[in-house]
Structure 1
Amino acid sequence: MTLEEFKKGNFVVGMKETERALEKQEAALVFIASDCDERISLPLMEACSASGVPVERQYTKKEIGRACGIKVKAASAALLKSR
């Protein structure tokens, strides 16, 4: 999935919001920035693996933030399941 396709769906931005979406089983796909520090990204990747949620790691924090419509960098974002 590209960030352009991602923008068209419902999503949450940031590590804490992404973690909450995973806990509530609302995440369909998670984007983790390729330039995110491993000590931050590894626990989130493990949570995605445990939940069976696919992870995209091809975009930078700046690209993810821009795609989410915020003016700051974002380490992660999650596409939410359709209701």
Structure 2
Amino acid sequence: MSYDKVKQAKNVSIGTKKATRMIELGLATEVFVAKDADPRLTIRMVNLCKKKDVQVTYVDSMKLLGKACGIEVGAAVAAVVNE
């Protein structure tokens, strides 16, 4: 399951602002997007990933993505960052 990648990653940037920054810096290796997140937040992220050739993986919900990231609240986006 894709959540395992998030759990096992040493470095994860949670949230659209942090994830966007990591993508722009070329540090993100994979971005996880919650299917139930606001499309106005995620569409820009997905387009940026395509432009920067970063893999996008869709996950079922913000709640599960947040849990996989080890936070109590939902997460719309999380980027796995290279060390």
Alignment TM-score, normalising by the size of structure 1? 0.91
How far apart are the structure 2 equivalents of 1:75 and 1:8? Answer: 19
Listed as ranges, the gaps of 5+ residues in structure 1 are: none
Check the 8 A contact 2:2/2:59 in 1, yes or no.
Answer: no
Instruction: Tell whether 2:41 aligns with 1:36.
Output: no
TM-score normalised by length of structure 2: 0.91
Count matched residues: 82
Q: CA deviation at 1:11?
A: 1.0
What is aligned with 2:4? 4
Distance 1:36 1:58 in 2: 10
**Segment of structure 1 superposing worse, 1-10 or 42-51:** 1-10
Higher strand share: 2
Q: Percent identity?
A: 34
